[in-house]
Amino acid sequence: MLRAHELESRVAVYPRVIIEDDLVASLSDKYRSTFLRQDSDAMWFIDPFSIGIRGIDGEALAADGYDPYQIALKELGAEIDRQIAQTAELHHRVKWTWLKCQHELAVGELKRDGVTRWELMRG
């Protein structure tokens, strides 16, 4: 925990939870590729989009037949765009823009696979 705090305060420029390389190396490829993502600065972080909003035992579709994760991603994308447009401070805009890139990756994965990486892992 102390090392994680040190990494977060020294290295995490973006709104992410960084995972130390030693811990990443101790994980199986299956868990690493499901729950973590490696960023352009080579830092590993917990991917907040890897599970989705369905949760561990949630229904795949809402009662009305719509995918709650797809709806949540759409609403989150609109909010991210609003924040980027409203943010005057550069350091805040950089964080929102990074989150937009992560969001776009999640949207692309959902379109390609139809499910989250966690659901793919579960089979």
The ranges assigned to domains in the chain are 2-122
Alpha helices in 1-123 (DSSP H): 2-10, 21-26, 29-35, 68-86, 90-113, 117-122
Write out pLDDT tens, residues 16-53: 888 999 999 999 999 999 999 999 989 999 998 998 87
**What's the whole-model pTM score?**
0.81
**At 45, which helix (H) or strand (E)?**
strand 44-46
Write out pLDDT tens, residues 95-114: 999 999 999 999 999 999 98
By percentage, how much of the chain surpasses pLDDT 70?
A: 80
Q: Bridge-partner residues for 44, per DSSP? A: 19, 38
